[in-house]
Every structure is written in C-alpha cells, then in structure tokens.
Amino acid sequence: MSESCSGNCSSCGSADCGSRTQESLLAQANPGSRVGKMIAVVSGKGGVGKSTVTALLASALNRRGSSTGILDADITGPSIPKAFHVSECREATEEGIVPAVSAGGVQIMSINLLLDDETSPVLWRGPILGGAVKQFWTDVIWEDVDYLFVDMPPGTGDVPLTVFQSLPIDGVIVVATPQDLVGMIVAKAVNMANMMHVPVLGFVENYSYYQCPDCGKRVELFGKSHLDQLAQETGIPILARLPLDPAVAALVDQGRIEEARVEALEPAVDRLEKL
C-alpha cells in the first residue's frame, strides 16, 4: 500500500495496491470457527462443472481423513446442497449458524439451506449478494475444518471481488474445459486472482474426454484441449483432466456425490494436501 493511500479502497484506481493484505479488509471469522486452509474454486463462465469439482475435492480430502467444508458463494445458482442431499442447517443460535453436515461429514453452508422453497429465486443486487457471502464466513460456525472450499459464482463480478477482499483465501483452483473460448475467459479469472494477490494453485480441466466403457477408447468430444498453451503462458500447472462421466452426473442428481471416485482428480487432491 502506497504512502499516499487514503485507506478508502472504494475510490482507489490502483490495480496493484496490495491493500487486500491489510487486516482491515478481511472479515473476522465467527469466534467459534476453526478453519485451516481456505480454497476458492473459480471459473470464467458457468456450466463448466465448477460445483461438481468443488464437491469432489471436498469429498476426496474427507475420505483421506481431513475435515472439509463448502461455503457455497453462488447465491443465485446454488447446487451444492442437492449434490450432498442436505436441505437445512443444523441450528441457529446467538453464537451463530451451525452448517449442515453431509452423510460423509462435509460441512455445508448455502443460501438454499435458508430458503423455505429451494426453487425460489434470489433476486438480490450485487452488494447484497456480497454481504450474504461474507455472513457465511462471519456468522457461520465452521467446526474444526481443515479445508474450507468456496464454490464461487462464474465470472469476475461483485461476489468474487468480495470473496478475494474479505475472506482469507489461501489459494485458487481454476476449472476449465477444452474449448479455446473458455480458455480466453479462464485467463480473465486467473488475471483477477493475480490482481488480488491470491495464488493460483492450478487448473482442473473438466469434460476433457469421454472414455468408451466397452473398448476403452478416449474421445475428445469438445475437441483438442487449448489449456496447455494457457498453462505454459502463465506457468500454472494442470492438476487434473477429468472425463465426461455419466455415472458422476447421476450421483450428483441423486445427492450421492460423496460416493463418486474420480481417479483422475487425485493429483489435485495431492496438491492441496501439500499446502
């Protein structure tokens, strides 16, 4: 932060101020929370399987013996509760909100856990959306969580900005797909993380291929991947390439995502354990 900084970030035009690291910008966790590492899972656009990747990472680390949680920051399009078959928080007290817990022990907080009808739309403007996400950190009691994943909404708008400025993010996982267009949009997400001084841990490419269950042949349904070029240009590693798997999609629809075993994701899980 420069010597001439007024401390008012809302009127600051500097992209590389570095003031995110100042304690005054970070929201304080609920006094009852105990969180180790906080990982944001981002994408440049919707429909790339970001929430599925978030759920798979949290479930895989949980099976390895780490305590995990998911803060669903996608307020207008939450899908985490359905994937884990949870419908409401455990309780709300004066000390804070106790998140839902999945069958496998993953702690979950999402706007859908607070709505009377999960199909009701959330018609809020940007500042209110950002405020709700911040409250999922300040008002929710995260109980001894080793890894807290933040399932981000797509793009680089108000909510991602709030998360990067207000939550103590330790690293970012960027979810992409093979198409060149997605690669361009993914670069925007990477650049945003860099501008906010948040380290990008690596890429996870989803829908990389479909493997025939009969002959084992791999088919690149979305064409040859363009992610290698972006990885080379940015120096960010590709941690995993995930297949298009109807079985995983079925488990998500049934609320049984924790039963999914995606071997291709294991290198990404290994990377997180090294933090």
pLDDT exceeds 60 at position 184: yes
The percent of residues in the chain predicted with pLDDT above 70, rounded, is: 91
The mean pLDDT value of the chain amounts to 90
The pLDDT confidence band at residue 190, using thresholds 50, 70 and 90, is very high
**What are the tens digits of pLDDT across the range 242-264?**
999 999 999 999 999 999 999 99
Nearest to 112 by CA among 140, 143, 85: 85
Q: Which two tokens stand for residue 271?
A: 């990377």
The pLDDT confidence band at residue 9, using thresholds 50, 70 and 90, is low
Nearest to 226 by CA among 274, 168, 181, 271: 181
pLDDT exceeds 90 at position 7: no
The pLDDT confidence band at residue 14, using thresholds 50, 70 and 90, is low
List the beta strands (DSSP E) in 85-170. Answer: 91-93, 96-98, 100-101, 107-109, 145-151
The pLDDT confidence band at residue 24, using thresholds 50, 70 and 90, is low
Q: What count of residues does the chain have?
A: 275
pTM: predicted TM-score of the whole model, two decimal places = 0.89
Neighbours of 34 (CB within 10 A): 13
Phi, psi of 203 (to 5 degrees): -100, 145
**What are the tens digits of pLDDT across the range 112-171?**
999 988 888 898 888 899 999 999 999 999 999 999 999 999 887 889 999 999 999 999
Neighbours of 245 (CB within 10 A): 17
Distance CA 128, CA 80 (A): 20
Nearest to 177 by CA among 40, 47, 33, 82: 47
The pLDDT confidence band at residue 10, using thresholds 50, 70 and 90, is very low
Q: Are 220 and 209 in contact (CB under 8 A)?
A: yes
Task: Please state at what angle helix 227-234 crosses helix 180-195, rounded to 10 degrees.
Answer: 20
Distance CA 241, CA 246 (A): 16
**What are the tens digits of pLDDT across the range 100-125?**
999 999 999 999 999 988 888 898 88
